[in-house]
Amino acid sequence: MPLSVLASRARRGRTTIAFAVLLALVGYAALLVETGGWGPPRCTARVDGEDVSLDPEQAVNAATIEAVAASRGLPERAVTIALATALQESGLRNVRHGDRDSLGLFQQRPSQGWGTARQIQDPVYATGRFYDRLVRVPGYSRLPLTVAAQRVQYSGFPQAYAKHETEAVVLTAALTGRSEAAFSCPGPVDDGVAGEPARVRAELKRQFGAEVAAAIRPAGQGGGRTAAPHVVRVQAGAATARDGGERRGWELASWAVAHSDELRIERVSYGDHVWNAGNSDGGWRTTDTGSGAEVRIVTAR
Protein backbone atom coordinates (compact mmCIF):
# COMPACT_ATOMS: atom_id res chain seq x y z
CA MET A 1 0.00 0.00 0.00
CA PRO A 2 1.42 3.42 -0.92
CA LEU A 3 2.81 5.46 1.95
CA SER A 4 0.56 8.37 1.00
CA VAL A 5 -2.55 6.22 1.60
CA LEU A 6 -1.24 5.01 4.95
CA ALA A 7 -0.48 8.59 5.98
CA SER A 8 -3.98 9.70 4.95
CA ARG A 9 -5.58 6.90 6.98
CA ALA A 10 -3.43 7.78 9.99
CA ARG A 11 -4.53 11.43 9.77
CA ARG A 12 -8.18 10.40 9.56
CA GLY A 13 -7.70 8.13 12.56
CA ARG A 14 -6.14 10.90 14.61
CA THR A 15 -8.92 13.27 13.58
CA THR A 16 -11.58 10.73 14.63
CA ILE A 17 -9.92 10.20 18.00
CA ALA A 18 -9.55 13.95 18.58
CA PHE A 19 -13.23 14.49 17.71
CA ALA A 20 -14.31 11.73 20.10
CA VAL A 21 -12.22 13.23 22.90
CA LEU A 22 -13.73 16.66 22.19
CA LEU A 23 -17.28 15.25 22.39
CA ALA A 24 -16.44 13.54 25.68
CA LEU A 25 -15.07 16.78 27.13
CA VAL A 26 -18.14 18.71 26.01
CA GLY A 27 -20.41 16.10 27.58
CA TYR A 28 -18.44 16.17 30.82
CA ALA A 29 -18.55 19.96 30.95
CA ALA A 30 -22.31 19.89 30.39
CA LEU A 31 -22.71 17.38 33.21
CA LEU A 32 -20.68 19.53 35.57
CA VAL A 33 -22.74 22.61 34.76
CA GLU A 34 -26.00 20.67 35.16
CA THR A 35 -25.02 19.23 38.52
CA GLY A 36 -23.43 22.38 39.88
CA GLY A 37 -19.96 20.84 39.93
CA TRP A 38 -18.53 23.54 37.67
CA GLY A 39 -19.29 27.24 37.45
CA PRO A 40 -20.50 29.66 40.15
CA PRO A 41 -21.41 28.14 43.55
CA ARG A 42 -25.06 27.22 43.86
CA CYS A 43 -27.72 27.01 46.53
CA THR A 44 -29.11 23.59 47.41
CA ALA A 45 -32.39 22.38 48.86
CA ARG A 46 -32.03 18.84 50.20
CA VAL A 47 -35.15 16.96 51.35
CA ASP A 48 -35.67 13.20 51.73
CA GLY A 49 -32.77 12.35 49.43
CA GLU A 50 -33.86 14.77 46.70
CA ASP A 51 -31.63 17.74 45.80
CA VAL A 52 -32.59 20.89 43.93
CA SER A 53 -29.84 23.26 42.84
CA LEU A 54 -30.41 26.99 42.22
CA ASP A 55 -28.19 29.94 41.51
CA PRO A 56 -28.39 32.92 43.93
CA GLU A 57 -30.89 34.83 41.77
CA GLN A 58 -33.25 31.86 41.58
CA ALA A 59 -32.88 31.26 45.32
CA VAL A 60 -33.91 34.84 46.13
CA ASN A 61 -37.01 34.56 43.95
CA ALA A 62 -37.99 31.15 45.33
CA ALA A 63 -37.73 32.41 48.90
CA THR A 64 -39.75 35.51 48.02
CA ILE A 65 -42.51 33.36 46.51
CA GLU A 66 -42.67 31.38 49.76
CA ALA A 67 -42.58 34.49 51.97
CA VAL A 68 -45.51 36.15 50.17
CA ALA A 69 -47.55 32.97 50.63
CA ALA A 70 -46.66 32.98 54.34
CA SER A 71 -47.79 36.61 54.66
CA ARG A 72 -51.22 35.53 53.38
CA GLY A 73 -51.48 32.34 55.40
CA LEU A 74 -51.62 30.18 52.28
CA PRO A 75 -50.97 26.43 52.39
CA GLU A 76 -47.89 24.65 51.10
CA ARG A 77 -49.75 23.58 47.98
CA ALA A 78 -50.06 27.22 46.91
CA VAL A 79 -46.29 27.64 47.24
CA THR A 80 -45.64 24.48 45.21
CA ILE A 81 -47.99 25.62 42.42
CA ALA A 82 -46.41 29.07 42.32
CA LEU A 83 -42.84 27.71 42.29
CA ALA A 84 -43.56 25.19 39.52
CA THR A 85 -45.24 27.92 37.48
CA ALA A 86 -42.31 30.32 37.87
CA LEU A 87 -39.82 27.56 37.05
CA GLN A 88 -41.63 26.93 33.78
CA GLU A 89 -42.42 30.53 32.84
CA SER A 90 -39.11 32.21 33.66
CA GLY A 91 -36.72 29.68 35.18
CA LEU A 92 -37.29 31.55 38.48
CA ARG A 93 -35.75 34.69 37.02
CA ASN A 94 -37.19 38.20 36.90
CA VAL A 95 -36.91 38.42 33.14
CA ARG A 96 -37.55 41.66 31.24
CA HIS A 97 -38.87 40.02 28.08
CA GLY A 98 -41.17 37.27 26.92
CA ASP A 99 -43.99 36.42 24.55
CA ARG A 100 -45.51 39.71 23.37
CA ASP A 101 -45.53 41.98 26.47
CA SER A 102 -44.98 39.22 29.07
CA LEU A 103 -42.60 40.07 31.92
CA GLY A 104 -41.25 38.87 35.22
CA LEU A 105 -41.31 35.66 37.21
CA PHE A 106 -44.70 34.53 35.95
CA GLN A 107 -44.59 36.15 32.49
CA GLN A 108 -47.54 38.37 33.35
CA ARG A 109 -48.80 40.80 30.70
CA PRO A 110 -49.60 44.47 31.41
CA SER A 111 -52.10 44.38 28.52
CA GLN A 112 -54.01 41.60 30.30
CA GLY A 113 -54.57 43.48 33.54
CA TRP A 114 -51.72 42.09 35.65
CA GLY A 115 -50.35 45.56 36.43
CA THR A 116 -47.89 47.99 34.96
CA ALA A 117 -44.58 46.78 33.57
CA ARG A 118 -42.80 48.31 36.56
CA GLN A 119 -45.12 46.58 39.03
CA ILE A 120 -44.78 43.18 37.36
CA GLN A 121 -40.99 43.47 37.56
CA ASP A 122 -41.29 43.59 41.37
CA PRO A 123 -41.23 39.90 42.45
CA VAL A 124 -43.26 40.63 45.61
CA TYR A 125 -46.00 42.33 43.60
CA ALA A 126 -45.95 39.72 40.82
CA THR A 127 -46.20 36.87 43.32
CA GLY A 128 -49.05 38.58 45.12
CA ARG A 129 -50.98 38.95 41.88
CA PHE A 130 -50.42 35.27 41.08
CA TYR A 131 -51.83 34.28 44.46
CA ASP A 132 -54.75 36.73 44.05
CA ARG A 133 -55.93 34.69 41.08
CA LEU A 134 -54.94 31.28 42.42
CA VAL A 135 -57.09 31.58 45.55
CA ARG A 136 -60.11 32.36 43.36
CA VAL A 137 -59.80 28.94 41.70
CA PRO A 138 -62.30 26.66 43.50
CA GLY A 139 -60.53 23.82 45.29
CA TYR A 140 -57.15 24.75 43.83
CA SER A 141 -55.22 22.90 46.55
CA ARG A 142 -56.85 19.61 45.53
CA LEU A 143 -56.47 20.03 41.78
CA PRO A 144 -53.61 18.55 39.76
CA LEU A 145 -50.82 21.13 39.64
CA THR A 146 -51.12 21.56 35.87
CA VAL A 147 -54.83 22.33 36.16
CA ALA A 148 -54.44 24.82 39.01
CA ALA A 149 -51.57 26.63 37.29
CA GLN A 150 -53.42 26.76 33.98
CA ARG A 151 -56.51 28.30 35.59
CA VAL A 152 -54.26 31.23 36.51
CA GLN A 153 -51.88 31.40 33.55
CA TYR A 154 -53.85 30.33 30.44
CA SER A 155 -50.66 28.93 28.95
CA GLY A 156 -50.38 27.46 25.47
CA PHE A 157 -48.48 24.52 27.02
CA PRO A 158 -50.26 23.70 30.30
CA GLN A 159 -48.75 20.22 30.70
CA ALA A 160 -45.25 21.75 30.87
CA TYR A 161 -45.83 22.75 34.50
CA ALA A 162 -45.84 19.08 35.53
CA LYS A 163 -42.12 18.58 34.85
CA HIS A 164 -41.26 21.04 37.64
CA GLU A 165 -43.52 19.58 40.34
CA THR A 166 -40.86 17.47 42.07
CA GLU A 167 -38.45 20.42 42.23
CA ALA A 168 -41.21 22.64 43.55
CA VAL A 169 -42.18 20.14 46.26
CA VAL A 170 -38.58 19.92 47.50
CA LEU A 171 -38.17 23.70 47.53
CA THR A 172 -41.49 24.12 49.33
CA ALA A 173 -40.50 21.70 52.11
CA ALA A 174 -37.15 23.46 52.59
CA LEU A 175 -38.36 27.06 52.39
CA THR A 176 -41.50 26.70 54.50
CA GLY A 177 -39.43 25.24 57.32
CA ARG A 178 -41.17 21.87 57.27
CA SER A 179 -37.74 20.32 56.69
CA GLU A 180 -35.23 21.92 59.04
CA ALA A 181 -31.72 22.96 57.98
CA ALA A 182 -32.59 21.89 54.43
CA PHE A 183 -31.54 24.98 52.48
CA SER A 184 -27.99 26.28 52.05
CA CYS A 185 -26.24 28.82 49.82
CA PRO A 186 -22.63 29.89 49.25
CA GLY A 187 -23.31 33.38 50.61
CA PRO A 188 -21.72 36.65 49.52
CA VAL A 189 -18.19 36.95 48.20
CA ASP A 190 -15.81 38.38 50.80
CA ASP A 191 -15.06 41.59 48.89
CA GLY A 192 -15.28 44.10 51.72
CA VAL A 193 -18.79 45.32 50.82
CA ALA A 194 -20.90 45.70 53.96
CA GLY A 195 -24.49 44.61 54.37
CA GLU A 196 -27.30 46.87 55.50
CA PRO A 197 -29.27 45.55 58.50
CA ALA A 198 -31.97 48.15 57.86
CA ARG A 199 -32.50 46.70 54.39
CA VAL A 200 -32.77 43.18 55.81
CA ARG A 201 -35.45 44.37 58.24
CA ALA A 202 -37.29 46.21 55.49
CA GLU A 203 -37.35 43.16 53.21
CA LEU A 204 -38.51 40.89 56.02
CA LYS A 205 -41.40 43.26 56.69
CA ARG A 206 -42.28 43.74 53.03
CA GLN A 207 -42.24 40.07 52.11
CA PHE A 208 -43.58 38.38 55.26
CA GLY A 209 -45.95 41.09 56.41
CA ALA A 210 -47.20 42.32 59.76
CA GLU A 211 -46.72 39.17 61.85
CA VAL A 212 -42.99 38.94 61.18
CA ALA A 213 -42.60 42.72 61.31
CA ALA A 214 -43.90 42.62 64.88
CA ALA A 215 -41.40 39.90 65.77
CA ILE A 216 -38.31 41.85 64.66
CA ARG A 217 -36.40 43.14 67.66
CA PRO A 218 -35.45 46.83 67.60
CA ALA A 219 -31.92 47.56 66.40
CA GLY A 220 -29.39 47.25 69.22
CA GLN A 221 -31.86 45.70 71.66
CA GLY A 222 -30.42 43.06 73.98
CA GLY A 223 -27.24 42.57 75.90
CA GLY A 224 -23.71 41.60 75.05
CA ARG A 225 -22.82 40.63 71.51
CA THR A 226 -26.45 40.41 70.38
CA ALA A 227 -26.76 44.20 70.67
CA ALA A 228 -24.33 44.71 67.75
CA PRO A 229 -25.87 46.92 65.04
CA HIS A 230 -25.04 44.43 62.28
CA VAL A 231 -27.24 41.71 63.83
CA VAL A 232 -30.93 41.43 62.91
CA ARG A 233 -32.91 39.49 65.51
CA VAL A 234 -36.36 37.98 64.92
CA GLN A 235 -38.34 36.26 67.65
CA ALA A 236 -39.53 33.03 66.05
CA GLY A 237 -40.57 30.71 68.87
CA ALA A 238 -38.69 27.96 70.64
CA ALA A 239 -36.73 25.68 68.35
CA THR A 240 -38.27 22.68 70.11
CA ALA A 241 -41.83 24.03 70.20
CA ARG A 242 -44.76 21.99 68.89
CA ASP A 243 -46.95 25.01 68.07
CA GLY A 244 -45.34 26.06 64.79
CA GLY A 245 -42.65 28.24 66.33
CA GLU A 246 -39.92 25.90 65.16
CA ARG A 247 -41.26 25.86 61.62
CA ARG A 248 -41.49 29.65 61.46
CA GLY A 249 -37.91 29.86 62.71
CA TRP A 250 -36.61 27.61 59.95
CA GLU A 251 -38.74 29.46 57.41
CA LEU A 252 -37.10 32.76 58.36
CA ALA A 253 -33.64 31.21 58.59
CA SER A 254 -33.97 29.65 55.13
CA TRP A 255 -35.20 32.97 53.71
CA ALA A 256 -32.13 34.72 55.12
CA VAL A 257 -29.75 32.14 53.64
CA ALA A 258 -31.50 32.36 50.25
CA HIS A 259 -31.04 36.15 50.31
CA SER A 260 -27.48 35.99 51.65
CA ASP A 261 -25.80 37.05 48.42
CA GLU A 262 -28.25 39.86 47.67
CA LEU A 263 -28.41 41.26 51.22
CA ARG A 264 -24.76 40.58 52.18
CA ILE A 265 -25.62 38.15 54.98
CA GLU A 266 -22.66 36.19 56.33
CA ARG A 267 -24.14 34.24 59.25
CA VAL A 268 -27.57 32.91 60.25
CA SER A 269 -28.36 31.02 63.44
CA TYR A 270 -31.48 29.44 64.88
CA GLY A 271 -31.86 27.04 67.78
CA ASP A 272 -28.66 25.01 67.98
CA HIS A 273 -27.81 25.39 64.28
CA VAL A 274 -25.67 27.91 62.44
CA TRP A 275 -24.92 28.65 58.79
CA ASN A 276 -21.75 30.55 57.87
CA ALA A 277 -20.90 31.92 54.44
CA GLY A 278 -17.26 31.15 55.14
CA ASN A 279 -17.86 27.39 55.39
CA SER A 280 -21.21 27.03 53.65
CA ASP A 281 -20.06 23.89 51.78
CA GLY A 282 -21.05 21.94 54.86
CA GLY A 283 -24.46 23.58 55.06
CA TRP A 284 -25.96 24.02 58.52
CA ARG A 285 -23.92 22.90 61.54
CA THR A 286 -24.82 22.32 65.15
CA THR A 287 -23.30 24.64 67.73
CA ASP A 288 -23.08 24.97 71.49
CA THR A 289 -23.76 28.72 71.29
CA GLY A 290 -27.11 28.76 69.53
CA SER A 291 -29.71 31.50 69.33
CA GLY A 292 -32.57 29.71 71.08
CA ALA A 293 -35.98 31.02 70.02
CA GLU A 294 -34.50 33.79 67.88
CA VAL A 295 -33.36 33.81 64.30
CA ARG A 296 -30.18 35.88 64.21
CA ILE A 297 -29.06 37.30 60.89
CA VAL A 298 -25.56 38.77 60.77
CA THR A 299 -24.68 41.06 57.88
CA ALA A 300 -21.19 41.54 56.46
CA ARG A 301 -19.20 44.45 57.93
At 282-295, the pLDDT tens digits run 789 999 877 889 99
pLDDT at 281: 74
- The residues of the chain scoring below 70 in pLDDT are 1-40, 98, 220-227, 238-244, 280
pLDDT at 142: 97
At position 293, the amino acid (one-letter code) is: A
pLDDT at 33: 42
- Give 292's strand partners: 271
pLDDT at 21: 41
Query: Which three-class secondary structure state does DSSP give residue 289?
Result: coil
The set of residues, in sequence order, having a beta carbon less than 8 Å from that of 129 and lying 6+ positions away, is 106, 108, 114, 115, 120
Return phi, psi of residue 130, to 5°: -60, -50
Task: Classify residue 111 as left (phi > 0), alpha (psi -120 to 50) or beta.
Answer: alpha
Q: What is the pTM of this model?
A: 0.83
CB 237 within 8 A of CB 246: yes
Neighbours of 153 (CB within 10 A): 20
pLDDT at 64: 98
